[in-house]
Amino acid sequence: MRLEVTWNDERSELELEEGELSWGGAPEDGLQFPGLPPALAVARIRGGRLTLTPACALRVGGVLSPRHVERLVLPGEVVELDEGVRVVVPKVPDDGRETIGTAVVMSELLAGKPPRQPQQTRAAYFDCVAGVDLGAQLAVAYVDCVLGRGTDAQLRLRDPAVSRHHARLARDGKQWHLTPMPSTNGVYVNGQRLRGSHPLAAGDIVELGRTLLRFEPEAKAQEEYTVAAPQPAEQAPQPVEAPAVPVQPALSESAEPVEVTSTERLPSALPIERPSRRGWWILVPGTLAALSAAVAWLLLTRV
């Protein structure tokens, strides 16, 4: 697993293998930070996930995490070991998978299917970062639901320190509100005990009994994304005219060129100019004289 470490304003990257190791300033600590107390926390990397069990209260994701309680560190959260010493699990780039709506999540939960990963759903959800259900994801399939240990709770937790009906989660418009219900242990958000309805924001840590839940609201639906201006409708292709082709007239140099385009029909053959009839009257007398001579010759031969 890759970690980003900031120490005295110097940033570096570490690659850790799966297993367990202690973080602190002692030589025997697997990840040493000189100047820090020894065995400050125990880190476990399993299945690509990092959990941290601090020996004293540490701030994780901006919220104090109690000592000796294993805490799941989600991608993007900052672990503050000391002033100027921070460890971050880098976020995984979005893989572009298609998201689904709350109705689909609800139907799958009712069918007993395993909950989807956060990259695959538009529904709001809780990541369990500490407690009996560590690592579980609770998808919110109803706009009004109860968190608790009871069998009738829509978001059920196995923590024995959680009441049967511990808190109520409801959505008003686009805002989610968390309201504590009668409970011995109460409800805390980011370390502050709730006395009434409280709006939830992305990344808020909700504490119920010994369970810590990190809230993530639903992503924007596809129709809420900003889209580009509509493109003009495609027009039907127009016929492309062929370039004008000059055609020279046949047997006449004085005629003007004719411009023919592809939309006009070309003649099957070029026109042929007929000979002129001028001077036909000159041939008539000669023809008559020749006929007269032929008739006279025939009459003389019979005599």
Residue burial 124-153, b: 16+ Cβ < 10 Å; e: rest: bbbbbbbbebbebbbbbbeeebbbbbeeeb
The values of phi and psi at residue 152, to 5°, are -95, 5
The values of phi and psi at residue 70, to 5°, are -65, 130
The residue-averaged pLDDT of 130-143 equals 90
Question: 262: left (phi > 0), else alpha (psi -120 to 50), else beta?
Answer: alpha
The residue-averaged pLDDT of 25-33 equals 89
Q: Please state, in angstroms and rounded to a whole number, the distance separating the CA atoms of residues 286 and 131.
A: 134
Pairing of strands 167-172, 144-148: antiparallel
One-letter amino acid at 194 equals L
pLDDT at 252: 41
Of residues 130 and 293, more confidence is placed in 130
Of residues 242 and 24, more confidence is placed in 24
Of residues 247 and 88, more confidence is placed in 88
pLDDT at 145: 93
pLDDT by residue (tens digit) across 138-151? Answer: 989 889 999 999 99
Q: Please state, in angstroms and rounded to a whole number, the distance separating the CA atoms of residues 169 and 21.
A: 38
One-letter amino acid at 36 equals L
The residue-averaged pLDDT of 181-186 equals 82
Alpha carbon 126 to its chain's center: 22
Q: Please state, in angstroms and rounded to a whole number, the distance separating the CA atoms of residues 148 and 126.
A: 13
* Cα–Cα distances in angstroms (integers) from residue 259 to residues 150, 246, 265, 272, in the given order: 91, 5, 12, 19
pLDDT higher than 90, residue 178: yes
The residue-averaged pLDDT of 72-100 equals 77
Pairing of strands 19-24, 31-32: parallel
Confirm if 167 and 176 have CB atoms less than 8 A apart: no
The residue-averaged pLDDT of 59-81 equals 89
Least confident of 120-124, 164-168, 204-208: 120-124
Q: Please state, in angstroms and rounded to a whole number, the distance separating the CA atoms of residues 43 and 32.
A: 12
Q: Please state, in angstroms and rounded to a whole number, the distance separating the CA atoms of residues 126 and 197.
A: 18
* Cα–Cα distances in angstroms (integers) from residue 29 to residues 43, 49, 260, in the given order: 11, 20, 92
pLDDT by residue (tens digit) across 89-125? Answer: 888 765 554 555 555 555 666 676 665 554 455 689 9
Of residues 181 and 95, more confidence is placed in 181
pLDDT higher than 60, residue 179: yes
Residue 211: its H or E element: strand 211-216
Of residues 141 and 272, more confidence is placed in 141
pLDDT at 84: 80
* Cα–Cα distances in angstroms (integers) from residue 138 to residues 109, 157, 187, in the given order: 10, 9, 17
The residue-averaged pLDDT of 20-37 equals 89
Tell me, yes or no, if the pTM score tops 0.85. Answer: no
pLDDT at 287: 65
Q: Average model confidence (pLDDT) for the chain?
A: 76
Band of pLDDT at residue 153, cut at 50, 70 and 90: very high
- Other CB atoms within a 10 A radius of the CB of residue 299 amount to 8
One-letter amino acid at 64 equals L
Band of pLDDT at residue 284, cut at 50, 70 and 90: low
pLDDT at 65: 86
pLDDT at 61: 87
Of residues 57 and 100, more confidence is placed in 57
What 3-state DSSP class applies to 194?
coil
Confirm if 246 and 257 have CB atoms less than 8 A apart: yes
